[in-house]
Amino acid sequence: MNTMNEATSDPLEHCRNIQRQLGELIDHAKQDIDRVSEPRFQALLETSAEVLGGLRTAFEHYEQGSEKAWQR
C-alpha cells in the first residue's frame, strides 16, 4: 500500500516513492527468472531488472544531488 501523500508537491517525496516502486518491480522480475523455464523470457526479465536498476540509480542520484545536472 502506498502511504505517501500523493498530493504533496515535494519532488523528493515522489522520487523516493518511485525508487521504492522500481525496487519492488526489480525484485519481482528477478524472482520470476527462477519461476519460468523459457530462456528468452528469462533473458528479458534479467535485462528488464538491469534497466530498471539503472533508472532507480538515476532517481537516487537526483535525490542525493550527486550528479551535476541534479545539484540544487
Q: What is the pLDDT of residue 4?
A: 55
Q: What is the distance between the alpha carbons of residues 37 and 59, in angstroms, rounded to a whole number?
A: 32
> What is the pTM (predicted TM-score) of this model?
0.84
In the block, cell 505517501 appears at: 4
Contact 45, 36 (CB under 8 A): yes
Q: What is the distance between the alpha carbons of residues 35 and 70, in angstroms, rounded to a whole number?
A: 38
**What mean pLDDT do residues 59-66 have?**
92
Q: What is the pLDDT of residue 66?
A: 86
- The model's pLDDT over 15-52, given as tens digits with 9 standing for 90+, comes to 999 999 999 999 999 999 999 999 999 999 999 999 99
Q: What is the distance between the alpha carbons of residues 23 and 56, in angstroms, rounded to a whole number?
A: 7
Grid cell of 24 as nine digits: 519492488
Q: What is the pLDDT of residue 58?
A: 95
Please say if the pLDDT value at position 1 is more than 60: no
